[in-house]
């Protein structure tokens, strides 16, 4: 198992165009990142696989895309305006601020090393405030959403009615969320702007425990199916004193990051808290009516909630491998082909027009199905190494023999094995390897 440091993975991310510091030419802005050409593809593929697993392949879950800015009353009803806080302390010596519950030693400042210099803890609300309209006053105050879940709850009846949904059913959403973290860090792990992948699964109260266990197992298997080493994953149930105010039970799927075990995804039994709160505050009846039993009740909700950016980071870390090949170190991202930014790279052996032309023709055909790169710079060996380092599963080499036998050499990233394949069956050949 390759031991990956945070510095190693962040350097690779910048070098190869996965992640850049936001506003870098102006000195950067802390905890904000831009996803480059490879990063945006990897992130898109992670979200696509999540959507495929939770929505496309099921008949009991539908999708939603709610607004980032919602009525302030939404966050009052959900409890976020009152309890969405972290305990913050400030060091009187160096003036840095820290989350009290994340300090290894609550008496020692991790920035300057001084002891006994912290102020009394105070609660800091994590929501970003802004104003709608031309006047910045209390009446026009709104928040950037700190989670996508509330957009689902306030649309529960809209979705149920328009799609004729019957319990049990889920509503899934992928979208941006914003949290004014006190101490963001660990590269893209904890940022103030991030993407969430959340699903609210509504069920009868007496079935909640069964569905909770189902979704814990389902979500854990999703990560291993996409290639994460099971030894780097673990399930951690929350203790009673760390449960959210709405939760009757939560389990985290944790990943072994370079700094230790940390949360990758949480699966929570939110009970009927949210629908009750929005019914009380809005005056709209969000109870579910069961025509078969003639009952009207608030469903319970099981919520698998993952960060798309954090999950992408975990896949990147897990895939990173260093190995010795011919007395040289080969860096390989062993990403599952479904996640790889480029599915194949087309490599003409020479820049001569007689090879560039057929290479471009092959790339055009493959692009009908996948993201493809054409790489013409440096030696073929260096180009192989570069594609290994960015996780490209297959390289297609066009050489001078191609002009005679109308075949190309397909190289496997992981085994480095090569096979000669005729150009007229290349698409079919790669489809058998890539399509799952």
pLDDT in tens, 301-360: 999 999 999 999 999 999 999 998 888 899 999 999 999 999 999 999 999 999 999 999
Given 317, 352, 379, which residue is the final one in a domain? Answer: 317
Provide the edge-to-edge strand list for the sheet that holds 249-257.
61-63, 169-178, 193-203, 300-307, 260-271, 249-257, 233-237
Given 282, 317, 352, which residue is the final one in a domain? Answer: 317
Residues sharing a CB contact under 8 Å with residue 205, sequence separation 6 or more, in sequence order: 271, 272, 297, 298, 299, 300
Range of the domain at 48: 6-70+146-317
Contact (Cβ atoms closer than 8 angstroms) between residue 88 and residue 123: yes
Cα gap 204→269, rounded to integer Å? 12
Q: How far is CA 204 from CA 208, 236, 250, 347, in A?
A: 7, 25, 18, 56
Tell me the sheet residues that pair with 61.
170
**266 vs 247, residue with greater confidence:** 266
State whether 216 and 254 are in the same domain: yes
* Residue 158 within any structural domain of the chain: yes
State whether 292 and 398 are in the same domain: no
pLDDT in tens, 68-111: 999 999 998 988 887 767 788 888 899 888 888 778 888 899 88
State whether 348 and 304 are in the same domain: no
* Residue 129 within any structural domain of the chain: no
State whether 357 and 426 are in the same domain: yes
* Residue 20 within any structural domain of the chain: yes
Count the helix, strand and coil residues of the chain and give each as a percent rounded to the nearest 5. Answer: 35, 30, 35
State whether 309 and 395 are in the same domain: no
Task: Give 33-68 as a DSSP string.
Answer: EEE-HHHHHHHHHHHHHHHIIIIIT-SSEEE----S
CATH number, domain of 10, equals 3.30.930.10
* Residue 94 within any structural domain of the chain: no
What's the mean pLDDT in 155-175? Answer: 96
Q: What is the number of domains present in the chain?
A: 2
pLDDT in tens, 373-421: 999 988 999 999 999 999 999 999 999 999 999 999 999 999 999 999 9
Contact (Cβ atoms closer than 8 angstroms) between residue 113 and residue 106: no
State whether 305 and 353 are in the same domain: no
State whether 209 and 289 are in the same domain: yes
pLDDT at 65: 96
Residues sharing a CB contact under 8 Å with residue 432, sequence separation 6 or more, in sequence order: none
Share of the chain above pLDDT 90, in %: 72
pTM of the entire predicted model: 0.89
CATH number, domain of 410, equals 3.40.50.800
State whether 280 and 203 are in the same domain: yes
State whether 235 and 155 are in the same domain: yes
State whether 368 and 297 are in the same domain: no
* Residue 123 within any structural domain of the chain: no
pLDDT at 239: 87
Strand pairing of 129-131 and 19-21?
A: unpaired
* Residue 159 within any structural domain of the chain: yes
* Residue 112 within any structural domain of the chain: no
pLDDT at 1: 57
What's the mean pLDDT in 199-223? Answer: 97
State whether 269 and 377 are in the same domain: no
State whether 212 and 272 are in the same domain: yes
Tell me the sheet residues that pair with 197.
174, 306
């Amino acid at each position: 198992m390759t031991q990956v440091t945070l510095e190693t993975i962040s350097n690779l991310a910048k070098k190869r165009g996965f992640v850049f510091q936001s506003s870098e030419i102006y000195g950067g802005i802390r905890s904000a990142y831009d996803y480059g050409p490879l990063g945006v593809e990897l992130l898109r593929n992670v979200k696509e696989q999540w959507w495929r697993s939770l929505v496309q392949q099921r008949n009991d879950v539908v999708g939603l895309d709610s607004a980032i800015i919602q009525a302030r009353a939404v966050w009052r009803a959900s409890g976020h305006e009152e309890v969405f806080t972290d305990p913050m302390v400030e060091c009187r010596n160096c003036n840095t601020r820290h989350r009290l519950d994340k300090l290894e030693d609550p008496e020692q400042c991790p920035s300057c090393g001084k002891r006994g210099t912290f102020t009394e803890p105070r609660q800091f609300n994590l929501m970003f405030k802004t104003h709608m309209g031309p006047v910045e006053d209390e009446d026009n105050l709104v928040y950037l959403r700190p989670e996508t879940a509330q957009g689902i709850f306030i649309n529960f009846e809209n979705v149920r009615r328009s799609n004729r949904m019957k319990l049990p059913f889920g509503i899934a959403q992928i979208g941006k969320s914003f949290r004014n973290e006190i101490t963001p860090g660990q590269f893209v792990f904890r940022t103030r702007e991030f993407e969430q992948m959340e699903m609210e699964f509504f069920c009868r109260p007496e079935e909640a425990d069964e569905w909770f266990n189902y979704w814990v197992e389902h979500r854990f298997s999703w990560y291993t199916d996409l290639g994460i080493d099971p030894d780097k994953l673990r399930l951690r149930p929350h203790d009673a004193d760390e449960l959210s105010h709405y939760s009757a039970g939560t389990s985290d799927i944790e990943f072994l990051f370079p700094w230790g075990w940390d949360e990758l995804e949480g699966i929570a039994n939110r009970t009927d808290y949210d629908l009750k709160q929005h019914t009380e505050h809005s005056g709209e009846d969000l109870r579910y009516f069961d025509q078969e039993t003639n009952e009207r009740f608030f469903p319970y909700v099981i919520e698998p909630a993952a960060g798309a950016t954090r999950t992408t980071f975990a896949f990147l870390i897990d895939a990173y491998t260093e190995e010795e090949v011919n007395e040289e170190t080969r860096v390989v991202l062993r990403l599952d082909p479904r996640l790889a930014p480029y599915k194949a790279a087309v490599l003409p052996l020479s820049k001569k027009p007689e090879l560039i032309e057929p290479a471009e023709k092959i790339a055009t055909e493959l692009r009908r199905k996948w993201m493809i790169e054409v790489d013409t710079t440096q030696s073929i060996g260096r180009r192989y190494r570069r594609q290994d380092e960015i996780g490209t599963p297959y390289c297609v080499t066009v050489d001078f023999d191609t002009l005679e036998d109308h075949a190309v050499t397909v190289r496997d990233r992981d085994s480095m094995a090569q096979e000669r394949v005729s150009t007229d069956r290349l698409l079919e050949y790669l489809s058998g390897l890539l399509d799952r």
